[in-house]
Every structure is written in structure tokens, then in C-alpha cells.
Amino acid sequence: MTKVGEHEFVADDWATLHRLLYRDAWDEELGRHRSPYVFRGMTDSDHNLETSLHRFVGESGRWDLEVHLLRNFRQYARQEIDQPESPFHLMALAQHHGLPTRLLDWTYSPAVAAYFATGGSPDADGLIWAVDYEAAHERLPDHFQEFLAELGTDMYNAAMLYDLMRLVIEQSEEQEGQLADRQTLPMLDVRDVLTEFSKQRGDDHIVFFQPPSIDQRIVNQAALFSSMANPRTSMEEWFERHPDLYWKIIIPANRKQEFRDKLDQANINHRTLFPGLDGIATWLKEYYKPC
């Protein structure tokens, strides 16, 4: 193992990769291996933690397009999806199917992250981010933390985030004497929830949450999402201001194929992570590809 920076390590071989993936996983209080980290695998170490919405908006400054995208996705996808249960459910659906959103994909599984990091160009080093979500959530505003504590958990899901935002909005409207029946105003609900969620309260913050089990792909990938409170904020720059929350594993380009083959033998491959005919076809092409 080579340390190339304060928070960067190089996985020179399979044994080192395995040690790094399960680094600091022991929970002394529980007496179990229960890692507080979530992981994101990236095919190129030069790529940054940029959301699809950030790339979509670019230099235009048109952050208002987020609600327009979600509104029209909800309208035209009605024949394909059930009624979204909340704005966060809607965003998770949209992200899952490729619409630009403020969300970024993560996984509880270090092996799944390693699989994604070993893809892409064989000439580019792969990269795995490991983020301590428990410590990140300790930087949330007080009412976010109190809500988690009341429910006895350290991770949100989409429904919990919506419940919290509704409580905050209702309290604000009660103070202003402007209560509205938002069950009949779904897109106003989306707009108002995202507006409230994006409000700055001192230092910006990041929230991790579990999406609904939309399909087997979400389940098999042990997937979850993150969102900065303010979608304009660079997640990578935020982490640089809080270096105690993360570390990174670099996978050398010349080790990608070896690691990917060993992950495949451990049943971490396209067939299992993308259930269905497309996943099977991709897996077979990769498995039988001549050297």
C-alpha cells in the first residue's frame, strides 16, 4: 500500500485493496464490523464529485430548471411509474433513469464501489471515495439531527426527509398564518420542499438517504444517494474543507482487469448488479472478450 496524500492510498495489489475497502470497519461499541462509511467508485481518478444537475446547468445559472425537469418527468412518466410518494422519491426515480438531478449515487458495499472503479478506460486509474456518513450527519442542522435521534437511526430515507421538510414548512406557515392543503398541489410541494431543503443555515451540509426499493438494481447495488443542501455547492470542495470525513483509494490502471476478474468470481459483476437481459448481455461480452 502506498500513501500518496493525507487521505489517498494506492491499492497496489488485491490484498491491499481488500484491507483498504474494510478500513476502520470495526465498531467497538457494537462489537461488530459495522462500517460507518459509504462508497462511490469512479472509473477515472481525474473525475470529480459533480452531480448531473451541476453539469446540466453549467455556466448558464439556470438552477430553476431543476423543478421544470422534475415536473415534466412526473407528467410524462405517469404510465411507467406509480405516483411518487414525495419529492425525494421523485428525484430518486429521476436519477435512477438518467434525468439530471442534485443527487449523487453511493453504495454501502465497498465491493460494488470497487466494481464500478475498475470499469471505463483501461489506461485511467480508478478511484473509490469512502465517506463517513455518520460523521457527516453530525454536521447537519440541529433539527435534522434531532429527527434522526428521535427515530433511533443515523440514516435518512426518502420518506423521512419528506416528513422532516413538511414539518419545517408547516411550522413556518403556521407562524405566518398561511397553511395550505399541499395534498392537492403536488408540484408546489416539490418546489417548496426543495426550496426549504436548499436554504443555507450557516455552513452548507450534505445529507445521505436511502431511496425506495424502486427495482432490484437498487437493492443489489446497496444503493443510496447524497445531496448537498445547496445544489450549487461543489461537493468535492466541501469535503476538502472537512478532510476528516473521507479518504480515497486509487486503483492503478494496470490492476483494473485483475481486480475486476476477482470481483466477478466473487459474483460482483454486471449480471448481478444490473438484473435483466441487458445486464446479462453486458456481463457475457465482458466475460468472453478475447485478450
Domain membership flag for residue 290: no
- Angstrom distances, CA of residue 117 to CA of 9, 22, 102: 14, 16, 22
- Residue 191: band (very low, low, confident or very high) from pLDDT cuts 50, 70, 90: confident
Tell me the residue length of the chain.
291
The model's pLDDT over 89-121, given as tens digits with 9 standing for 90+, comes to 999 999 999 999 999 999 999 999 999 999 999
> For residue 31, is it within any domain?
yes
Whether residue 269 is contained in a domain is answered as no
Identify which has the larger pLDDT, 230 or 171.
Answer: 230
Contacts 24+ apart (CB under 8 A), 18-22: 20/249, 21/110, 21/111, 21/113, 21/114, 21/128, 21/249, 22/110
Q: Is residue 173 part of a domain?
A: yes
* Greatest Cα-to-Cα distance within the chain, rounded to the nearest angstrom: 70
* Confidence at residue 184, expressed as pLDDT on a 0 to 100 scale: 41
Asked if the structure places residue 241 within a domain, the reply is yes
Q: How many CA atoms lie within 13 A of 2 on its CB side?
A: 8
Strand partners, 22: none
Is 288 among the domain residues? no
Let me know: does 31 contact 116? Beta carbons within 8 Å.
Answer: no
Parallel/antiparallel/unpaired status of strands 223-228 and 2-5: unpaired
pLDDT in tens, 232-287: 999 999 999 999 999 999 999 999 999 999 999 999 999 999 999 999 999 999 99
Alpha helices of the chain — where are they, by DSSP H? Answer: 14-21, 52-57, 65-76, 87-96, 110-117, 133-137, 142-151, 158-176, 186-198, 216-220, 235-241, 256-265, 270-273, 277-288
Confidence of residue 182 (pLDDT cuts 50, 70, 90): very low
Look at residue 263 and tell me if it is in a domain. no
- Give how many domains the chain has, as a whole number: 1
Cα gap 253→196, rounded to integer Å? 43
Cell numbers standing for residue 51: 452531480
DSSP-assigned beta bridge partners for residue 227: 207
* Domain assignment of residue 54, given as a range: 2-257
pLDDT tens for each residue of 32-84: 999 999 999 999 999 999 999 999 999 999 999 999 999 899 888 877 777 66
What does DSSP assign to residue 211?
P
Strands 8-10 and 246-251 turn out to be parallel
Task: Classify residue 127 by burial, with Cβ atoms within 10 Å: 0-12, 13-18, 19+.
Answer: buried
